[in-house]
Amino acid sequence: MNRRELLLAGTALAVATGVGRGAATTTARPGALRILILGGTGFIGPHFVREALARGHTVTLFNRGKRQAEPTPGVETLLGDRNGQIEALAGRDWDVVIDNSGYVPRHVRLTTQLLRERVRHYLFISTISVYSDLSAPGATEDAPLEKLADPTVEKVDATTYGGLKALCEGVVLEDFPGRNTIVRPTYIVGPGDHTDRFTYWPWRMSRGGEMLAPGTPSDPIQYIDVQDLARFVMGCVEKPVPGIFNACSPPGYATMGGLLEASRRVTGATTKVRWLDTATLEAEGLVDGPGLPIWSPPAGATAGAALVSSARAVAAGLRFTPLEDTVRATLEWLATRPPDQRDALKAGLSREQESAVLARHR
């Protein structure tokens, strides 16, 4: 028997090798994978970890150790930094890498070159922001990608994010040919999302009174529940399933009106909703800011951003939690946050700003 056969037969795996913490001895079930997650302590990482452990896999995290005070029981954490301090990964091997913290191609190249002979499959979490044109609905995985004027730039901001992610994808494709999966999510939502972009709408519905809603009830929105994303990612690494996939709800699956009504049903609120059209919102300077998250105008340069095709991912096994369940889980998580985070979200309109806009257009 070679080492991998011993692992699959259920022998104990000592994961204390390397510079790490929280190492544990785990008995792998037949077919279990040894998964390395680059990151793992932000928003999506803990969901990936829980899903992997629930399926009987062994998990190692690699990160700077700054976000999580205590290690996750049964999970090894290797400490380092993707900006060159990756010695803890040297001499180790895993079945699969899940890279959910790659934003700069140089950083991704460091790990792909170190691990390409020691890892069977590489899954990279990208974004639909890699597409150069989202003005038309139905963008597929074959649509043209963003290209940076300066491909050496490493500053990640709104103008470079998509182009940098596209370059990171290129690194993975080059260093793991035929042994890669690239997942391009849209807005990732659900418990743990500290951006509050999705959370704002059910939270605002729960506050009562008169609320501002953008566009019309039929305007499409697109998102992916973080738990659906975790299940899809684990399905892709278990088979494995190579390829590129848009991870988003199907076009037309959800609308702004549907989101608000689901929020009303979950909260039991009697909030009065007032819809303001795009022209009014543009005049108020609200279209391009953080005040109306998730929604985008149904016409213009981003008209197709909420109508991206997810058909390929659905064929590969992506499934969707009912919107009402996502709203409920998000609000339950929100209730566990400190009071100052529950009452002052990072996205959406302040009550003063909302009241002023509504008063001007009453």
pLDDT of amino acid 289: 83
pLDDT of amino acid 44: 97
pLDDT of amino acid 29: 64
Model pLDDT for residues 184-230, shown as the tens digit of each residue:
999 999 999 999 999 999 999 999 999 999 999 999 999 999 999 99
Q: What is the pTM of this model?
A: 0.90
Q: Which two tokens stand for residue 241?
A: 């399933």
pLDDT of amino acid 306: 95
pLDDT of amino acid 26: 39
Predicted confidence (pLDDT) at residue 262 exceeds the cutoff of 50: yes
Could you tell me the pLDDT band of residue 237, with boundaries at 50, 70 and 90? very high
**Fold match between domain 3-190+223-247 and domain 200-221+255-302+322-360:** no
Q: Kindly report the average pLDDT of the chain as a whole number.
A: 91
Query: What CATH architecture is 200-221+255-302+322-360?
Result: Alpha-Beta Complex (3.90)
Q: Region 27-31: what's the mean pLDDT?
A: 60
Model pLDDT for residues 62-104, shown as the tens digit of each residue:
999 877 656 778 899 999 999 999 999 999 999 999 999 999 9
pLDDT of amino acid 17: 31
Q: Which two tokens stand for residue 227?
A: 């738990």
pLDDT of amino acid 13: 29
Predicted confidence (pLDDT) at residue 1 exceeds the cutoff of 70: no
pLDDT of amino acid 67: 73
223: closest CA among 344, 101, 321, 80? 321
Give the residue extent of every domain in the chain: 3-190+223-247, 200-221+255-302+322-360
Predicted confidence (pLDDT) at residue 8 exceeds the cutoff of 60: no
What gap in Å lies between CA 14 and CA 20, rounded to an integer?
13
Predicted confidence (pLDDT) at residue 314 exceeds the cutoff of 60: yes
Superfamily, domain 3-190+223-247: NAD(P)-binding Rossmann-like Domain (3.40.50.720)
Q: Assess contact for 79 and 23: CB atoms under 8 A.
A: no
The full DSSP string for 131-171 is BS--SSS---TTS-B---SSTT----STTTHHHHHHHHHHH
Q: Region 132-146: what's the mean pLDDT?
A: 97
